[in-house]
Structure 1
Amino acid sequence: MRFDEVVLAIMKAVDGQRTISSPYHLIKGKKSGQTIQDIGYFNLHPFFGVLPKLDKSDYLASVSRLQSAGLLEVGDEQVRLTSRAVELPLPETALNGWKYRGNESRFFARLSLVVQTMSCFMQNQTRFDPVVADETVQTWVRSYLQRIRFRDTDVQHAFKEQLENSLQVVEAESWQKDIIIERLSGFNIGGLTWDQIAMRRQILPIDAKIAAVEVMHAWLDVIEEIRPALLLAMLEDIVQQSALTESAKRTQSLFDRGFSLEQIAELRQLKTSTIEDHFVELAMNDRAFLYTPFMDRAVYKKINEISAELKTMRLRDIKEHLPEASYFQIRLALAMRGAGK
């Protein structure tokens, strides 16, 4: 996908029910209650955190391009799709931001340093400036290289073969895969910058970045599936094992031990609203989650009926039709609805 297509896909999903900044926060991976619950409400899992370092100017430039193309109508805060945008088909994507949470960049940093090290050692160059300055990555790579006995020429050739073969299996355009290779450095070869890659392909740097992330997600899925030993070992701590944020996990642990929402807020010295965010996150991700400690069945049913009738996920609209329900109860019910319960 191009970056503008990512932005448009998110806007089509929320359909005018969120502010103009909502997609920006989602793409950056902001861990606010609103962003996390929107993932469940609108099935936006693919796009969460795909560009953690996204500059606001790049995002606003995309909005401007979409507006100029007649696809968006931008008001003071709300964004509306034009009829042309509604009818415009968007390509399928291999993006899986909710699963990887930006960890593909850590995998690529490890890969870059491993490739550089092997390349230099194959040329008998044991001293070089590491392409990755992060000491955590350097420490991990040193340990990994020792474990696989990387000085062995058979290991070096096996690594190269596993890299090439697994990347070949990835379902993506060849130019997208080439970006990954062009970013790597080796003996007397420096990886290309985003600007250089963009200039070479006559695309925007932001499009090169999102294409690389899309390929990385697809590639990581392939590595998990076909399990090439040398690459699979590099997935340590890369794949998100739980759909929950770490803070929500701690809240869940206390709740499972019998503490109430208010007690958890006091124990953790967090605002009640923050703990409510955690329960919304739990409702979104845990199919066994029970809403009955927070509302009775009649309120839960009425919230979903009003949401379906009005065709909206906007809390304020539902609250106006059901004033006896709290905003937390509405958010919780909608989160469970978004999870297909």
Structure 2
Amino acid sequence: MDEFILALFASGDKLKATTLYQLLIGKKTTSVLLFGCLHDLLPYVGLFPKVSQRDFEIQLQKLVQEGYLIDVKEGFYQRGQGIELTKEKQQVLSHLNHFRYGKSEAAAWRMLQFVIQVASNYHRQPTFVPLETAPMFTEPVRLLIRQQQEHLREILKEELIQLLGQLDQEIANKLAQSFSGWQLVGKTSYQLLPPWASDAPWNYLVPLAWHQAFFQEVERETNLVCYQLLAPFFLWDRNQSSLSTQALFEAGFSFEEVCQKRQLKPGTINDHLIEWALRDDKFIFADFIAPASEKLLANKPGDPLTWRFKEVASLEVDFLSFALYQIKTKEERKCF
């Protein structure tokens, strides 16, 4: 666990322990999500929901005593002497996206394994033992079989060749070995773990990274059957109230009209817009950042990513514009 925690401080930023803890257990308040965005920690939201705050603080103090972290002041910590992660562990962290797939990962992966098993056995072995029996899995697959029949096997084969071919070869090979089908029983994730990942937390993080890397490829190919089958699961990671708000804005309603129709306070609508901006690469910032506020922020000296709202409130900048300006600035820097 030490290596993982230290990797969170890799940027050299001063991180507040309480906010970092809230991020790791999955508390998705606007302040925590903005913290995650600005410090490149969003992929780790909710990875360890059962960790106690006391145990986390003890772990931090242990790292301070060993010189790996520096206790700055007022609950902030900074990286001390470095621990270099292996290339394999760095790759695991780079493929994680728990903010996007944390709730959906397990069920979406089960659905993929199930549809592959069914398509592979279709018209070959009618008495196989299905991996799933719950209607949430069986009904969509039954509908898909009815639509595609024997063609589904070839469709999935071509799609998997495409999707797995876009992944690192070692990851693709591991995932391929986990699929069951006609005359084939797939291996479990833990059977496929490399020796270096046998201990916590890597024995937990590695399968997550494999699956989430695959899902990111699926979401880039919205015309595929795999996407159509898995997309409903991906919605589990969205705040349903936020989605309703988003739909109204996309339909052309104004901020005031959305508040009225949703019967929600402006602050709640702000939260929904900020989450939308964090999740959607195509979010149109210009539609929601007040031009006057953007001009004031653009003329303010310093790094926008280090500002706190109380530092700019005197400029008569509204909080939504401030938060979206920071997210926009962060996104623009990723492009360079």
Q: TM-score under structure 1 normalisation? A: 0.66
1:169 and 1:222 in contact (8 A); partners too: no
Change (3 A) 1:139 1:87: closer
Q: How does 1:235-314 map to 2 (within 5 A)?
A: 235-237=230-232, 246-251=240-245, 253=248, 256-260=252-256, 264-265=258-259, 267-281=261-275, 285-292=283-290, 296=293, 299-301=296-298, 304-308=300-304, 312-314=306-308
- The corresponding residue for 1:124 is 125
- Alpha-carbon deviation of 1:143? 1.6
1:191-250, CA deviations, whole angstroms, 9 ceiling, x for partnerless residues?
5364x555966522542332223323433455567899664654444667xx98554454
- Alpha-carbon deviation of 1:43? 4.4
Report the 3-state secondary structure (helix = DSSP H, G, I; strand = E; otherwise coil) of the residue aligned with 1:91.
Answer: helix
Change (3 A) 1:78 1:110: same
- The corresponding residue for 2:82 is 84
Question: Are 2:132 and 1:137 equivalent residues in the alignment?
Answer: no
Output the aligned Cα RMSD. 4.9
For residues 82 and 273 of structure 1, what CA distance do their matches in structure 2 show? Answer: 38
- Alpha-carbon deviation of 1:169? 2.1
- Alpha-carbon deviation of 1:99? 5.5
Change (3 A) 1:167 1:291: closer
1:278-311, CA deviations, whole angstroms, 9 ceiling, x for partnerless residues?
3444666423234327x54564346x42545xx7
For residues 265 and 226 of structure 1, what CA distance do their matches in structure 2 show? Answer: 34
Moved more, 276-285 or 57-66: 57-66
- Alpha-carbon deviation of 1:50? 7.6
Question: Are 2:48 and 1:32 equivalent residues in the alignment?
Answer: no
For residues 77 and 204 of structure 1, what CA distance do their matches in structure 2 show? Answer: 29
Change (3 A) 1:106 1:147: farther
Q: How does 1:1-341 map to 2 (within 5 A)?
A: 7-13=5-11, 15-22=13-20, 25=23, 30-44=27-41, 47=43, 51=47, 54-56=49-51, 60=56, 70-73=67-70, 77-84=75-82, 91=90, 93-97=94-98, 100=101, 102-118=103-119, 124-126=125-127, 128=129, 130-132=130-132, 134-149=134-149, 152=150, 156=153, 158=154, 161-162=157-158, 165-166=161-162, 169-172=165-168, 174=170, 176-177=171-172, 179-181=174-176, 183-185=178-180, 189=185, 191-192=187-188, 194=190, 203-204=198-199, 206-222=201-217, 231=226, 234-237=229-232, 246-251=240-245, 253=248, 256-260=252-256, 264-265=258-259, 267-281=261-275, 285-292=283-290, 296=293, 299-301=296-298, 304-308=300-304, 312-316=306-310, 318=311, 322=314, 330-340=322-332
For residues 225 and 318 of structure 2, what CA distance do their matches in structure 1 show? Answer: 52
Amino acid at match of 1:216: H
Report the 3-state secondary structure (helix = DSSP H, G, I; strand = E; otherwise coil) of the residue aligned with 1:331.
Answer: helix
For residues 66 and 259 of structure 1, what CA distance do their matches in structure 2 show? Answer: 47
Change (3 A) 1:161 1:328: closer
- Alpha-carbon deviation of 1:110? 1.3
Unaligned stretches of 5+ in structure 1? none
2:15 and 2:76 in contact (8 A); partners too: yes
Change (3 A) 1:220 1:200: same
1:254-283, CA deviations, whole angstroms, 9 ceiling, x for partnerless residues?
5942343xx754543434432232344466
- Alpha-carbon deviation of 1:159? 6.4
- Alpha-carbon deviation of 1:125? 4.9
Change (3 A) 1:62 1:202: farther
1:104 and 1:217 in contact (8 A); partners too: yes
1:129-153, CA deviations, whole angstroms, 9 ceiling, x for partnerless residues?
x43354312211222233332xx4x
Unaligned stretches of 5+ in structure 2? none
For residues 114 and 212 of structure 2, what CA distance do their matches in structure 1 show? Answer: 19
Amino acid at match of 2:199: L
1:146-184, CA deviations, whole angstroms, 9 ceiling, x for partnerless residues?
3332xx4x864x36854773465244363x445535554
2:44 and 2:99 in contact (8 A); partners too: yes
- Alpha-carbon deviation of 1:77? 3.7
